[in-house]
């Protein structure tokens, strides 16, 4: 066995194995890129859905706050009227004395 035959016998299987590993890594890398793109698209879709749900929830909360504020304003007006009525009564009682 001369040097060339030895190098071919040892080097050729190593070169073939390295090229097979490189091709496998490239194919795996392509699959990983595809999965990343799919995940990115799904994530964007979910983010859009969540944003619309959050906006709807915020709108509902604002509506409920408006209703609550209107109720509070009505109750404050009632209390102010009651206080004015009591003040008039106290004033009349003070005038009678």
pTM > 0.85: yes or no: no
* pLDDT at site 50: 97
Q: Which pLDDT belongs to residue 49?
A: 96
* Positions in the chain whose pLDDT score sits under 70: 1
pLDDT value of position 1: 66
**Tell me, what's the pLDDT at 56?**
97
Residues ≥6 apart with Cβ < 8 Å to 1 = 9
DSSP calls for 10-59? HHHHHHHHHHHHHHHHHHHHHHHHHHHHHHHHHHHHHHHHHHHHHHHHHH
């Amino acid at each position: 066995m001369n040097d060339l035959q030895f190098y071919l016998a040892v080097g050729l299987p190593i070169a073939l194995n390295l090229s097979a590993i490189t091709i496998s890594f490239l194919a795996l890398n392509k699959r990983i890129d595809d999965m990343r793109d799919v995940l990115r698209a799904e994530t964007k879709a979910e983010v859009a859905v969540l944003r619309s749900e959050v906006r709807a929830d915020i709108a509902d909360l604002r509506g409920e706050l408006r209703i609550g504020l209107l109720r509070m304003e009505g109750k404050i007006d009632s209390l102010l009227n009651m206080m004015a009525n009591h003040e008039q009564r106290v004033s009349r009682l003070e005038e009678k004395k």
